[in-house]
Structure 1
């Protein structure tokens, strides 16, 4: 189970949905919480946070697999306006991060605006009413502004393996860990070797009878510089908050330097590769296994992982690393691409998420009823600064296309987007406008800019195929520069980039009665 202490779910989560609000926020992870808190601090109370689960938290609620922890330093993986002086480790475990989210939601008054078990099934824009009609599992709510805070790491990706439905053992994804399944003595297959797998593999290896790790591509792994935060440090952070802010600033600056190997791979990538090679040699003494675990692409082409115990776990007697993908699943076994077959009792997928084909795009319908997924299928996930999309008025994406980070905290990105949203709402009020829509030429220019900036970087020229890239080889996931440049460009809502429509007086459509639970 999760390491978070159980707390009673607020009664307000089960209250009926409001018929109409000014702002509807979808999702209650860090993005949704940041947006809701910012609106409340601005004095806006006409809002609702729609959460599909029974509690808030998003990624850090769902990913409760053994060993789950953040790979960004704790002091940077929290809101700048709500530092946590009580982190137990320099890299926070999942349970503490979720507890932090629960505490922040309560402290800043978000809880009364949350409606749980209200998964959104469709959101449709109307030019006549200048509102979004948001259909949920608990009823319908209309909103002038729709904010998608679902994030890119919300829907687990399970590969379409031939015969998977015939498997008679246990199967689950790391993001939906089955804590009721006893792994002790079992023959376990792990499919995938990404950020989740390198955390749970060392935790379950001592329990299982035998583990087969199916690795298509080995990742580059660096040492995880984690340590417990001492009681004295926690006391100082509580007593002198400026000390923690200073530490956050130092960490932020040092993490920004990590952008250099990504953008300028040739001069700086060699240094990082040398460090990763040394870590591999130190942790894996068997030359045959070491060769299996050595990537053939540049450091940073795929996500760089950090771990002190994953590589040693792969060298244990009860672990086998298979360097071929899975070709077929049978009722009691897995067949590798080389034709070899291994009997297994359970399959655990550490295969990541739907990132370049985000499920939220399937349910959002903009002008003319056009789905966001269809718009993106025509030319990739286009947007302006990952925040607004042409043809989808009054819609904001939190952590949208080209906002991901390979080197620092995504919370910095979120806190960069929030002021842009607030300034947009102020602009609508000031000009008595009912809707804004990004001009197509602005979006096209931004998409071209992103393509130009990625050219020659390690992400596109590093010799790998990563989940950063879409089916056409475009990097629509990451931000290709320093994050302070992103913050500068999102500091102000530039109305010249948008078509603003005068506010209409048409009434909102009647909503269906909402269920109470």
Structure 2
């Protein structure tokens, strides 16, 4: 029962994805209240108060962050870096900060693909190179056209921002197993996702995402990728809706191509 309670609480919390929703307003109110309670210095509090809507960037949870930035041996500098010298950093206001070491917190290439390996499909289609330009697109984060008998796990737009990714992964495993069962019944065939199916699916989820916090929240984040600057990371619905839609492979979504031997 406790696990069920946690699951459904997290599912409901996912409503913060809409900028003016009750969940977003409540979550922001509680976060500001906790910040004001934890940090008494108004100047420091101003520095660490985000200038964008909650959820626009990934929400991090910590019991020690506010405590850490208030320690006497900590100086929090939020100005942009202008220059790195032999002895430290010069910020945009031309203030010099002497340092012994610099640790780069540059993160990961979460929405870029071609650096991993080369992936070619039918007619030498270079999938990852296309994705770097146009942003990743995959049917429920798993399949792409002209990539026969090939599925991803946790591919484009199957990530989450409000609950555990394990639920989505389990749904994808179920889909992949059904995919393999259908292939087993057709040993001399391959499945190739229809281009129009992928396009319709992607247009629909991008339209839904365009109304959500990652576009309307006033921030720049790693969720947005490609020259076209679109969200290639997040599934815009609930994990329940994702599981329902991926419970079985719909063969009408695919070209079934016989292989001549």
TM bucket normalised to smaller: over 0.9
What is the CA distance between 1:455 and its match in structure 2? 2.3
Report what 2:246 is aligned to: 490
2:78 maps to 1:328: no
- Post-superposition shift, 1:360? 6.1
Against the structure 1 CA distance between its residues 357 and 292, is the aligned structure 2 distance closer, same or farther, given a 3 Å change threshold?
same
1:449 equivalent in alignment to 2:204: yes
Once the two structures are TM-superposed, the CA of residue 294 in structure 1 deviates from its matched residue by 0.6
> Which residue number corresponds to residue 258 of structure 1?
13
Preserved contact between residue 362 and residue 371 of structure 1 (Cα < 8 Å)? no
Cα contact 1:362–1:372 (8 A) shared by 2:
no
The secondary structure found in structure 2 opposite 1:459 is: helix
Separation in 2, partners of 1:329, 1:338: 14
Distance 1:320 1:433, change over 3 A: farther
Secondary structure (helix, strand or coil) at the match of 2:192 reads strand
Residue 282 to residue 358, structure 1, CA distance change in 2 (3 Å): farther
Shift of 1:407: 0.5
- The equivalent residue for 2:95 is 340
**1:379 matched residue in structure 2:** 134
How far is the alpha carbon of 1:248 from its aligned partner? 2.1
Structure that is richer in helix per residue: 2
Distance 1:359 1:344 in 2: 35
TM alignment of 1:13-412, pairs within 5 A: 246-263=1-18, 265-359=20-114, 362-412=117-167
**Distance in 2 separating the partners of 1:331 and 1:389:** 48
Q: CA deviation at 1:264?
A: 5.7
> How many equivalent residue pairs?
260
In the TM superposition, what is the alpha-carbon distance from 1:489 to its structure 2 partner?
Answer: 0.9
Q: CA deviation at 1:361?
A: 5.6
Q: For residue 485 of structure 1, give the secondary structure of its aligned residue in structure 2.
A: helix
Other structure's SS at 1:301 match: coil
Change (3 A) 1:323 1:483: same
Higher percent of residues as strand: 1
Q: Distance in 1 between matches of 2:33 and 2:157?
A: 32
Per the normalisation by structure 1, the TM-score is 0.48
Give ranges in structure 1 of 5+ residues lacking alignment.
Answer: 1-245, 506-517
Question: In structure 1, what is the equivalent of residue 213 of structure 2?
Answer: 458
Given the alignment, which residue of 475, 480, 501 partners 2:236? 480
Instruction: Verify: 1:502 aligned to 2:258, yes or no.
Output: yes
Question: How far off its partner does 1:504 sit?
Answer: 4.4
Question: What secondary structure sits across from 1:402 in the alignment?
Answer: coil
**Compared with structure 1, are the counterparts of its residues 359 and 373 closer, same or farther at alpha carbon in structure 2 (3 Å cutoff)?**
closer
What SS is found at the alignment partner of 1:277?
helix
The question of whether the paired residues in 2 share the 8 Å contact of 1:325 and 1:337 is answered with yes
Q: Does the aligned pair in 2 maintain the 1:265–1:458 contact within 8 Å?
A: no
Residue 378 of structure 1, CA deviation: 4.6
CA contact (8 A) 1:361 1:371 kept: no
TM-score (ref. length: structure 2): 0.93
